[in-house]
Structure 1
Amino acid sequence: MLPDHAPDKDEGLDTLPEPRPVYYAEQALLGALLLEPHRLPDITGVEPDSFAQHAHGALFAAIRSLPTPDPGRHAKDASWLTAVLTTARKHTRGLTASYLHTLVQVCPWPKHAPAYARMVETDHARRTLRLLAHRLKQTATDTTLPQPVSAALAEADALARCADDLAARFRAHPGSLPRTPAPPPGGTLSGHDEEALDEERSLLATAIAHPAEAEQMRWLTAQDITHPLHAGLWQCLTALTRRGAPVDPVTVLWEAQHKGLLTAEITPRELLDLLETPPGGSPPYWGERILKRGVLATAQRVGARIAAFTDDPATTPYQLVVGSRRALADLTSLRTRWERANHPTPPTMPAYSRTSPPPRASPPSVTTPPSPRISR
């Protein structure tokens, strides 16, 4: 059963959380409609599932399902309220007539019902976006999925559609950038991250052994590689291949020297040892594993970022739109490169072929008419 009023700390209910502002907005909206049901046509953008409280949603559904009573008769007769309560109880037990009385009492102004409905709609949009953001985070970390990247990108698409829907329903305003601090990055270099480092070492070693294959991997960038040294070495290797220069451990070592990668902690011998032991597999194989890891890590980070926006009550609906779109943009370039890695563009064939150039067009022939014969 819903409480007739917000929990009071003096009642020994310190363990109960204080209701959020939307709780009171829902009460005010329902109270307005119970008092003046004829205002229901003015309520737009709100559905029964828009309410955070299930019982409130059941009451709203019951109000919508019943014919609107005559205002004069409604002021004198409580039969319509009884019908609302009976209908709502079919879906939610514990509702009482006293709680409907409470809703009527706590409504400040029934004429403000559209404003209360907008508050309910706004909070529902926030909760929907939060749910989708958490689903993106969970999907990106679910190791049981057969196609985790496809599943994560599908959840990102759902988030983008939700942001588009919010943009259409809530007006833009100045200062639309959210001010919510970014959540701290989680995890340290251990366990699962060591596997990522092994994959990066394998990529470098196989790319040294097969530079022609590495040269075709334009879809992999140094930003996809987690270790700074490995990222720098990948840049050295790709720079050599694109210049058409010889590629082997020594040439990469020489390029690394010019890039400032050799330090007191990284000696030339250690660098050569890293590059001279090619494992199994091929550069594209290891590159796809690295890119896959990057896509999932970015998806998890994007989900956490958008969830942080929704958890900040100071973030307006349109700030949620702008912040979500910016966060999702970080995933867009990765998605494009992932698709290029898995679906390379086939070479285009010319529209037609010819073995010899067409004959050059000659100027049009002009027939000169015979000059008239002059007779003497």
Structure 2
Amino acid sequence: MDALFKGEQALLGAVLLDPDQLDALSWLKPADFYRPVHQALFAAMRTVSSQERPIRAADGTVPLTWLTSTVAEAGRHVRGLSASYAHTLIAACPRPQNAPVYGRMVLEGAIHRTVTKHAVRLEQVARIDAEQQQVEGVLHHADVLAGVLGDLARRWGTEPRPVAPPDAGTSAKPPRPVGPEEAEDERFLLAVLVSQPAAMAEVYDWLRPGDFADPGHGQVYRCLGALHHRGEPIDQVTALWEVQRRGLLADGTLSREQLDSLFGGPGAGSAEWLGDQVIRSSVVRTAAGAATTIKALAEDEALVPGRLIGQALHALGPLDEVRARWRTATGRPSTSSEVDDPAERSDPSARVHAALSRSAARQSAPQAVTPTVPLVRSRTATTPRSRTSPSRHLRSSP
């Protein structure tokens, strides 16, 4: 049987046997439970406890009204709940004093599910934004995911800091297929950079080789950037020479046909506009890659929440870098959510309290008690930018 399911049952059974355990579970929320019936029961326990705190009998037993009132309150929100299931929960609890540990299991499962849900949503938005050439939607959902990770870190009692995974330097991701529109923008841009002497200065400060979807195009841009950095002229001859010096033809990175299409004729258009299209694609592509990585991390049940959150924040790091360069290119100011470090908002005392409350049972917890009657011990944008540049109509084929 699923350990998380048994953990949820054991926790609810512990509270039914000892309502005072709710005091040690103040950090747990009904939404942290996976099954709706368990969410309804935990919420009902809090409601009933606040309205009519169970008073123990002289022998320490819990009144039967505690169980019946809890089941009745939960039954108002879910169907099919009966008192027999409450008996099943009680039977599933080995030791009521271990409720904080059972609660930690519930919270850990909730963290994995929450991170997975937001990563999947970011993936879906990235797919839509890629089709519409927009970035605002994907950046908004990336900020939401970063905020969720910070909140989860504080609930778990850890510092929300990026942590590189152990295999960060060795894992190689398969190349992503390059769309025809992405390839066209990149080819036009490189042709313009080679043909227009002043074009490289328009994009050099914020466009990087890694922003190109086609690795070969990124290498050509690297060559042009090297010529610009050294103050040497850029034209078809010097660009071809730099490509050859770097061995890009010899190692098969580029072919003669590719170079002929890039350097074979004059390029017309705006380097700044084309560069904006390239970096927009890079933002969405980077967000999609981060979402895929984070989803894989969240689906790894062996990854403890602290490491999951740290590695997920690390996966969002490249998106922050390319986002900053895109804002530089478009002259957009940084938003408050981008400059606000989650670690700065973290309250160390709150994190310590969260960690301690999850890690140990109450020292003064009474021994397990039984209800007064015999119980059977059975077992939840903006308008798309036009694809056509005013200057693209003036281009000649590369």
TM-score bracket, shorter-length normalisation: 0.7 to 0.9
> For residue 307 of structure 1, what is the aligned residue in structure 2?
295
The more displaced of 279-288 and 144-153 is 144-153
- Counting only pairs closer than 5 Å after superposition, residues 179-198 of structure 1 correspond to structure 2 as 185=173, 189=177, 193-198=179-184
1:56 matched to 2:38: yes
Distance across 2 between alignment mates of 1:207 and 1:293: 19
| Counterpart residue number, 1:351 | none
Separation in 2 of the partners of 1:54 and 1:325?
29
Q: How does 1:352-371 map to 2 (within 5 A)?
A: none
* 1:98, distance to aligned residue in structure 2 (A): 0.6
Q: Residue 15 of structure 2 contacts residue 21 of structure 2 at CA under 8 Å; is this kept in 1?
A: yes
Is the Cα–Cα contact under 8 Å of residues 71 and 82 in structure 2 kept in the other structure? yes
- The residue aligned with 2:243 is 256
Aligned equivalent of 2:69, options 77, 83, 89: 83
CA distance 1:93–1:321, change in 2 (3 Å)? same
Corresponding position: 1:69 with 2:54:
yes
Give unmatched runs, 5+ long, in structure 2.
334-398
Query: Paired residue for 1:319?
Result: 307
Deviation at 1:210, TM superposition (A): 2.5
Rounded to whole Å, the distance in 1 between the matches of 2:187 and 2:4 is: 53
Partners in 2 of 1:76 and 1:274 — Cα distance? 81
Contact in 2 for aligned 1:166/1:318 (Cα 8 Å): no
Q: Which of these two proteins has the greater Rg computed from alpha carbons?
A: 1
| Equivalent position of 1:28 in the other structure | 10
Q: 1:316 to 1:177 in 2, by over 3 A?
A: farther
* 1:141 match: secondary structure: helix
Q: What one-letter code is carried by the residue in structure 2 that aligns with 1:224? A: D
Is it true that 1:221 corresponds to 2:208 in the alignment? yes
Q: What is the aligned partner in structure 1 of residue 29 from structure 2?
A: 47
Write the distance in 1 (CA, Å) between the matches of 2:34 and 2:241: 63
- In 2, distance between residues paired with 1:109 and 1:270? 70
Given residue 316 of structure 1, which amino acid in structure 2 is its aligned partner?
Answer: V
One-letter amino acid matched to 1:258: R
Distance 1:279 1:154 in 2: 35
* Equivalent position SS for 1:72: coil
Cα 1:38–1:204 change in 2 (3 A) is same
Residue 211 of structure 1: how far off its partner (Å): 3.1
CA distance in 2, matches of 1:253, 1:37: 77
Distance in 2 (alpha carbons) for counterparts of 1:177 and 1:241: 34
Greater shift, 79-88 or 333-342, is seen at: 79-88
Q: For 1:275 and 1:28, how far apart are their aligned partners in 2?
A: 70
Distance (Å, rounded) in 2 between the aligned partners of 1:144 and 1:26:
40
Choose which of 283, 289, 294 in structure 1 pairs with 2:282. 294
CA contact (8 A) 1:201 1:230 kept: yes
Task: Give 1:243 deviation, angstroms.
Answer: 3.3
> Does the CA contact (< 8 Å) of 1:215 and 1:238 recur in 2?
no
Q: Which residue of 1 aligns with 2:264?
A: 276
Measure how far apart 1:269 and its partner are.
Answer: 7.6
Amino acid at match of 1:41: D
Q: Which has the higher contact order (CA 8 A, sep 6+)?
A: 2
Query: What secondary structure does 2:61 align onto?
Result: helix
1:247 is the counterpart of 2:234: yes
Mark the CA change 1:155 to 1:186 in structure 2 (over 3 Å): closer, same or farther.
Answer: farther
> In the superposition, relative to structure 1, how do residues 194 and 237 fare at CA in structure 2: closer, same or farther (>3 Å)?
same
Question: How large is the RMSD of aligned CA atoms in angstroms?
Answer: 2.8
Kept in 1: contact 2:33–2:106 (CA 8 A):
yes
Cα distance change of structure 1 residues 163 and 81 upon mapping to structure 2, 3 Å threshold: same
**Relative to 1, partners in 2 of residues 1:115 and 1:143: Cα closer, same or farther, differing over 3 Å?**
same
Is contact 2:129–2:138 with CA below 8 Å preserved after alignment?
no
CA offset at residue 115 of structure 1? 1.4
My pick for the range that moved more, 270-279 or 42-51, is: 270-279
Of 206, 214, 223, the residue aligned with 2:192 is: 206
CA deviations 1:272-310 (Å, max 9, x no partner) are 442233455311122111111111111111111111111
Change (3 A) 1:147 1:80: farther
SS of the residue corresponding to residue 216 of structure 1 reads: helix
Shift >4 Å, 4+ stretches = 143-147, 176-188, 264-270
Quickly say closer, same or farther: Cα 1:154–1:60, change in 2 above 3 A: same
Secondary structure of the residue that 1:226 maps to in structure 2?
coil
Matches of 1:85 and 1:165, distance apart in 2: 31
- How many Å apart are 1:185 and its aligned residue? 4.8
Corresponding residue for residue 121 of structure 1: 107
Q: Hey, what's the Cα distance between the residues in 2 that align with 1:44 and 1:148?
A: 42
Over the matched positions of the two proteins, sequence identity in percent amounts to 36
**Which of 75, 86, 105 is the matching residue for 1:100?**
86
TM-score, normalised relative to structure 1: 0.77
Can you give the 5+ residue segments of structure 1 that lack an aligned partner in the other structure? 1-17, 346-376
CA gap 1:273/1:126 in 2 versus in 1, 3 angstroms: closer
Query: Structure 1 pair 157/151, CA: closer, same or farther in 2 (3 Å)?
Result: same
State the partner residue of 2:367: none
**Range moving further from structure 2, 304-313 or 153-162:** 153-162
Aligned residues: 323
Amino acid at match of 1:116: Y
Tell me the amino acid that sits aligned with residue 323 of structure 2.
R
